[in-house]
Amino acid sequence: MAHLPLSHPQKPTSVIERVVVRFAGDSGDGMQLIGSEFSRSSAVMGNDIATFPDFPAEIRAPAGSLAGVSGFQVQFSSNTVWTPGDKADVLVVMNPAALRTNLPALPKGATIIVNNAAFSALNLKKAGYASNPLEDNSLESYKIISANMTALVNNALTGLDMSTKQMGQCKNFWSLGLLYWLYSKSSEQQVSWIRQKFAKNPQSAEANVRAFNAGYLYGENTEELSQRFSVEKAHMQPGKYRSITGNQALAIGLITAAHKSERPFFLGSYPITPASDILHFLARYKRYGAQTFQAEDEISAICAAIGASYGGGFSRCNHVGARFCAEG
């Protein structure tokens, strides 16, 4: 990919203490992936972080619908972080539904980065908009960065033998590249990660790298962004640190409880987002006495956990809205 010439000297950088960023789009837009990557890069750079993945309430909600919006929020700071943040300083939205769902929780003056290509008449109708909010001045209290991500990605992927749908799946990495530029993050490590992530599919790797670089260069060249920002390393006590999700913390807690009580542990689970990670995590710790069972549905998972409890095991059922169902 040929690098774009800079249209002006490098833009100034301001040092800030903390930032809350929220990514939002359809379930298939890859918001969880780029949110996780943005968080990982912040941790690697020494920031303290806290994240909050927000999954749709409905299974396979229609594309473009309010119920199908998926989000990921992260707060990263040069000081200690205790929460993922109440209000987002920057909101990245891929369609009108994502904007409508998240706008009520956005403070005035926040920055909204939006894919204007998705604001078609059909998508606006699905989201319940009577008019296009990008054109009716209803967003005048916010700083709007409106970009045709779809066209910019397609242009960056010129020459690759990919369908329009395949190219559209790279929009998330375009927005990630723009956020990397905006917050002065190193692009080299992210490019290496993308190539490693998609090593089995070189075409996808190349496409996502191109999209990421295109988003990064857009930040440097667009007149809509006059400066970038930097969050310095947090002051932490020397030692070994690791990132951990709520699901991983729960799984570790269950294993620890079983170990301390000297009881076998059994998980009856039906795989469903976002709880599937608990099953995946525990399945790797059989050496600590964790026994996992992948059931065909929620009822089967509950019945298996009850049966294990009657058999003398410390058990848990795992399904939507689940709590501890039995303990021997």
Q: What is the set of domains in the chain, with CATH numbers? A: 13-231 (3.40.920.10), 246-327 (3.40.50.970)
Determine contact, residues 271/281, Cβ cutoff 8 Å.
Answer: no
Residue located via tokens 């058999």: 311
Tens digit of pLDDT per residue, the chain (328 long)?
444 444 445 788 999 999 999 999 998 889 999 999 999 999 888 899 999 988 776 566 778 888 889 999 999 999 999 999 989 999 999 999 999 999 998 999 999 999 999 999 999 999 999 999 999 999 999 999 999 999 999 999 999 989 999 999 999 999 999 999 999 998 898 999 999 999 999 999 999 999 999 999 999 999 888 889 999 998 888 888 777 888 888 889 988 888 888 777 888 888 777 778 888 888 888 887 788 888 888 888 889 888 888 877 655 555 433 333 333 2
Q: Where are the beta strands (DSSP E) in 27-122?
A: 48-54, 69-77, 90-93, 111-115
Q: What is the pLDDT of residue 316?
A: 56
Q: How far apart are the first and last CA of the chain?
A: 61
Q: pTM for this one?
A: 0.81
Please tell me the distance from the alpha carbon of residue 296 to that of residue 192, in angstroms, as a whole number: 38
Q: What is the pLDDT of residue 63?
A: 80
Q: What is the pLDDT of residue 160?
A: 93
What single-letter amino acid sits at 306?
A: I
Token representation of residue 282: 């525990």
